[in-house]
Amino acid sequence: MTRASESSTVCSRRQILRATTSAVAALAAPSWLEKWQGPAPRKPFRDNFVHYNWHWFWDWGNGELGNNGVHALDVCRWGLGTGYPIRVDSAGGRYRYDDDQETPDTQVVSFKVDGGRTITWQGLSCNLPPETASRRADVIFYGEKGSLAILGSSYTVFDEAGKELRTHRGDGGEIIHTGNLLAAIRDGVSLASDIEEAHISTLMCHLGNISQRLGRSLHCDPTNGHIVDDAEAMKLWKRQYEPGWEPRV
């Protein structure tokens, strides 16, 4: 693979089978969950929100795209050396269960970036793809003469016919990231992923979800990621706050 000039296809960082949220009636929140809604507008408590399913409700979470997809998108941006997207398209929905989950269990998001290149993320929460263990990947870069598949801290290079050429396994995991953070605090070394880069990857998730919720494409300013010529979409640029909880900078 000489260069990833055409596209980069990104799979969900972790494709995990998730069960129904099992819609239940509202009830009183337990005493140990004081201020459990944080800055979100107040809604009646339901016990299917905790401890994990809050991810699948828009007031508190951002679905699988923001939950695990952000990690894959970050790696893809890193590999392509790209910044904010130019156009964002999302399709999908909540298909598997008839419950109160608000975020998609099936979602495909396409990000057009500089140089005519494309990043595509796919999230499947209720049906795993029929892939063999040797071909599963977190991120796949497709170039002119082959592809490069990343899985965890390892990568495998394939030619254009899909033949495996070589594999390399490196170090990874939270220990290395934690060490980098501590070294930055103690010794002033550069962070492996500084806050601006993390912001761009995170914003891509929000843009994908805005496109999903509105059911249309978004055109973005490549210098800052802002949505262009779409006042309705920009209403979702910030969250709704419970009165008194708005941040003041």
Percent of the chain with pLDDT over 90: 61
The domain total for the chain is 1
Residue 247 resides in a domain: no
What is the side-by-side order of every strand in the sheet holding 146-151? 164-169, 154-159, 146-151, 139-142, 7-11, 118-124, 106-112, 87-93, 218-219
Q: What is the mean pLDDT of the chain?
A: 87
CATH number at residue 123: 3.30.360.10
Which residue segment(s) compose the domain that 167 sits in?
7-18+46-234
CB hemisphere CA count around 65 (13 angstroms)? 32
Residue bearing the bigger pLDDT, 165 or 45: 165
Residue 89 lies in a domain: yes
Distance of CA 36 to the CA centre of its chain: 24
**163 within some domain:** yes
| pLDDT tens readout for residues 12-32 | 444 677 888 776 777 788 877
Q: Are strands 87-93 and 106-112 parallel, antiparallel or unpaired?
A: antiparallel
Instruction: Name residue 27's beta-bridge partners.
Output: 45
Count the neighbouring beta carbons within 10 Å of the beta carbon of residue 98.
9
The verdict on residue 26 lying in a domain is no
pLDDT of residue 171: 83
pLDDT at position 156 is 93
Residue 15: predicted pLDDT: 63
- Does any domain span residue 107? yes
Beta strands in 61-179, from DSSP E residues, in sequence order: 87-93, 106-112, 118-124, 139-142, 146-151, 154-159, 164-169
Residue 2 lies in a domain: no
Residue 169 resides in a domain: yes
Q: Are 222 and 84 in contact (CB under 8 A)?
A: yes
pLDDT tens-digit map of 94-148? 998 888 899 999 999 999 999 989 999 999 888 877 765 445 788 999 988 999 9
**Within 10 A of 46 (CB to CB), how many other CB atoms are there?**
18
What pLDDT is stored for residue 237 in this prediction?
Answer: 93
Q: Is residue 246 part of a domain?
A: no
Structure tokens given for 160: 């254009």
